[in-house]
Structure 1
Amino acid sequence: MAKNLKKPVGAMCVFLFFSCLLLQSISAEGSKRVSFWGEWREDTRSISPSIPISAFINDGVLSIHSSTQRSDITICISKDGKVLYEEMIPASKTDCVTIDLSEFESGTYSIGLKNQWADCLWGELFLNE
């Protein structure tokens, strides 16, 4: 009887996995991508041309995703040199970090990401009313 339960549970896990991917894809389509500049090597010896960090703004929420989850990430958002948000996220929780920007005024903000190996990425957030 235990063997019969494993198949439906496995099928449900596969279904949930692909449903999450579809929802993430749909939400990314309606959002604005944040472009980053800088270097993010994560203490590796080889330099990879791709950055394992992506970010999107959708309905006043900033979502930051790490595809590797190897680095603690310190997120800093500032405007006109004044830090408005700063938080360190442990590596194990960097798969999807969300930050509510609904209280931020419209305008251009700077975003900086740092890890424990001094890798840094910079970008700009454009918020509209």
Structure 2
Amino acid sequence: MARRPALLAAALVAAALATAGVASAAGGTPAKAAKSPSKTTMLYDVAPGFAPATLSVKAGTKLVWKSDRANTTEHTVTLDSSAAPRKAKFFDSGDIGPGRSYSRTLTVKGSYLLYCKIHGGMFQTVKVR
């Protein structure tokens, strides 16, 4: 039950960002994205990579990776330890099946390189400030 408010907040943020993109493409002034009170950022697997490919978040932000298509294959969210802050703890989501999600809160500042162990070309960079 506690996930519903976080998912709702993330959906509102995504809707605000989509509206901003439409306004920008139409030549209007983009709308400001709503701030999520739960400090949750939703990320998705989108073939051939994670979306977005690069992002910057504040330390302590909860990141949620969700397989957003029912027909997608399994993925992993795995930290490349050789391209991570020294004090960051290794993590590997294990297989994330269609419609499933994995969450992680990153607290150590620095740049994290993440990849999918199943699909070698899927990468994501998360910069924690």
Quick check: which one's strand share is greater? Answer: 1
TM-score scaled by length of structure 1: 0.49
Q: Which has the larger radius of gyration?
A: 1
